[in-house]
Structure 1
Amino acid sequence: MTKSEFYNFFRKIPKAELHIHIEAVMSRETIKKLYQKKNGVEFSDSEIKELFSYSDLNGFIAAFLKVQDIFTEVSDFDLIFDDLKNYLVRNGIVHCEAFFAPSAFIKKGFDYGEMTKNFEKNLKKIKDETGITIWLMGDVSRTFGLENAENNYKMFKEHPFAGFIGIGLGGAEAKGPSKEFGPVFEKALADNYHAVAHAGEDVGPESIWDALNICHAERIGHGITSVQDSELVKYISENKIPVEVCPTSNVFTKKYVKKMAEHPVREMFDKGIPVTIATDDPIFFGAELLDEYWNLYSKLHFSKADLKKIVINSFDDSFLDDGEKAKFKNLVEENWK
């Protein structure tokens, strides 16, 4: 298939995306608008270029925090959800399980209860307008330590809202080892919330083992260092633990993957790991979900049949109930024909 044929085809195939951060779907126009609102001056093209110039995971996180800093009030999230809706529509995504990171906003003085009202309103609006379902997971954030993570979880529990399904562990993996966050995961799982963890992105397979054995994470975000440990690959495959792979993100941060053609997702898929493909942070890494599927097809030798399996995985690996999964997988089959 040519690139244009590929995009035209896969845009029409219903997909789920399970690893994306809502602040990272912002358009550059939204960033400029919020910057102007906060500072009273325009955000120049050279400043935007500088904002998106980084060479490792820590540099990216610093840029992510700078973007969060331009928010001045809770209603600014309306713009984020507008951008998220547009992103989902143009990539043919019908179900999304996304992260939001409240820590920086709370430190700025935002009222979390007001944030949840805004989130609930916007999730309903998108559902009503497009039929797309979006569920949110709160990032307990390893960047700010265990005490902050526990405070975040307490806040999540005190302010539940329609569309909130659980917690995720994101942030600087090397600074906040997975093994330190077991207590907050135990509380979330005991309260029947879902729990997932970024692991094996910037640290070796020991981080993934800790996310599974100590945090009891139901899905692993990134997980690319799993291939360094044959026992871990066997464990993940046999226990059908989904791994949310974000290829361009891994190449961008350059810790373990220097170029797309060397990405271990091909090996992971071939060894039976339940792989789902996601973007992580589209605006920061310049790749949307259709781009990631094209990368697999054009640079990593995934066949159309392989990609269909990954699309099916995106629903099987979601937190949808069995009936919803079956409905969406039937839609995939119908549209594939």
Structure 2
Amino acid sequence: MEKAEFYSFYKRIPKAELHIHIEAVISKDSIRTLYLKKNGTAFSDAEMEKLFSYSDLNGFIAAFLQVQDLFTEVSDFDLVFEDLKNYLLRNGIVHCEAFFAPSAFIKKGFSYREMTENFAKNIRKIKEETGITVWLLGDVSRTFGLENAENNFKMFTENPFDGFIGIGLGGAESKGPSKDFGPVFEQALSAGYHAVAHAGEDEGPESIWDAIKICHAQRIGHGISAVQDEKLMDFCAENQIPFEVAPTSNVFTKKYVKSLSEHPFRAFFDRGMLVTLNTDDPLFFGAELLDEYWNACTQMNFTDEELKQVILNSFKASFLSESEKSAACSAVEEAWNARK
């Protein structure tokens, strides 16, 4: 297919996205709105260019925190969820399991309870307006240490809301090894919540092993350094441990891959691993989900049938019920066959 036809067709295929940070779906227009509201002056093109001029993972995290700092009140999240809704519609996403990171906002003095009321309201609004389901995973954040992570989880459990499904471990991987966060994962899983971990994005395969063996993470975010460990890839394939892969993000941070063509997503798929395609931070890395599917086609030699399997994987790896997964996969097949 030509590019325009590809995008048109794949937009019609229902998809799930499982690794995306809600603050990073915000649009540049919303950033300008928040900046003007906070500072009383316009955010210049030069400042916007500088904001997105990072060259590694830590630089990206610094930019991410800078955007978070523009928020002055809880109602600012209305902009985020409106941008999220539009993003999901543009990319044909019918189910999304997204991360939110409360630590920086709590440190700014935001009320977490008010945040959850806003999130629940906006999740309902998206469902009512579009039929799209959005579930949220709270980032316990390795950047601020285990005690902060446990405090975050305690805050989550004391303030549950409709749409909150569990925790994610994100942040600077080098500053917070996966093995340090076993206790908070044990608490979450024991309480019946889901728990996932970024691992192998900026550290070697031992980080992934620790996320699996010590944290018992139900999904691995990124996981690209697994390609260095044959036993790890075989273990993950045999046990169908889902990987939330975001190729453009990995190329952008330049830790293990410098181009899409050398990304291990193809190797993982061929190994029989349960891999899914995701964007991580679409605004920050300049790629939306349809772009990632196009890249897989043109840069990684995926066929249409293989990409259909990746789409099916997105639902299989989700935290939907088995009946919901079955219905979603049937909808994929129906939309796919409508082309024939």
Q: Report how many residues are paired.
A: 337
Aligned to 1:314: 314
Q: Please, what TM-score do these two structures have when normalized by structure 1? A: 1.00
Give 1:54-203 correspondences, 5 Å limit: 54-203=54-203
Alignment pair present for 1:334 and 2:334: yes
Partner secondary structure for residue 272 of structure 2: coil
How many percent of aligned residue pairs carry the same amino acid?
71
Question: Aligned partner of 1:283: which letter?
Answer: L
CA offsets per residue over residues 244-300 of structure 1, 9 Å max, x none? Answer: 000000000000000111111000110011000000000000000000000000010
Question: Could you tell me how far apart the structure 2 residues matched to 1:159 and 1:200 are?
Answer: 31
1:285-330 deviation line (CA, Å, top 9, x unaligned): 0000000000000010000010000000000000000111111111
Is it true that 1:208 corresponds to 2:208 in the alignment? Answer: yes
CA drift of 1:224 comes to: 0.5
> 2 CA distance for matches of 1:95 and 1:320?
9
Counterpart of 2:62, as a letter, is A
**Secondary structure of the equivalent of 2:276?**
strand
Cα shift readout 1:113-140 (whole Å, capped 9, x = no counterpart): 0000000000000000000000000000
Aligned AA (1:97): E
Query: 3-state SS of the aligned residue for 1:302?
Result: coil
Is 1:253 the counterpart of 2:253? The answer is: yes
Q: Scaled by the length of structure 2, what TM-score is found?
A: 0.99
Alpha-carbon distance between aligned partners in 1 of 2:148 and 2:60, rounded to the nearest angstrom: 21
Aligned partners of 1:325, 1:232: CA distance in 2, in Å?
A: 27
* Residue 4 of structure 1, CA deviation: 0.6
- Return the alpha-carbon distance in structure 2 between the equivalents of residues 216 and 327 of structure 1: 28
RMSD: 0.4
Unpaired runs of at least 5, structure 2: none
Per-residue CA deviation, residues 145-195 of structure 1 (Å, 9 max, x unaligned), is 111101100000000000000000000001110000000000000000000
Residue-by-residue CA offset, 1:94-127 (whole Å, 9 max, x unaligned): 0000000000000000000000000000000000
2: CA distance between counterparts of 1:215 and 1:57? 23
Q: Which residue of 2 aligns with 1:273?
A: 273
Equivalent in the alignment of 1:295: 295
- 1:23 partnered with 2:23: yes
Q: Which amino acid in the other structure matches residue 155 of structure 2?
A: M
Q: Report the alpha carbon displacement of residue 227 of structure 1 after superposing the two structures with TM.
A: 1.1
Partner SS for 2:161 = coil
Deviation at 1:220, TM superposition (A): 0.1
Aligned to 1:238: 238
Amino acid at match of 2:301: H
Per the TM alignment, residue 40 of structure 1 is displaced from its structure 2 partner at its CA by 0.4
Question: Structure 1 counterpart of 2:181, which letter?
Answer: F
Q: Which runs of 4+ in 1 moved over 6 A?
A: none
C-alpha distance in structure 1 between counterparts of 2:184 and 2:332, whole Å: 37
* Structure 1 gaps, min length 5: none
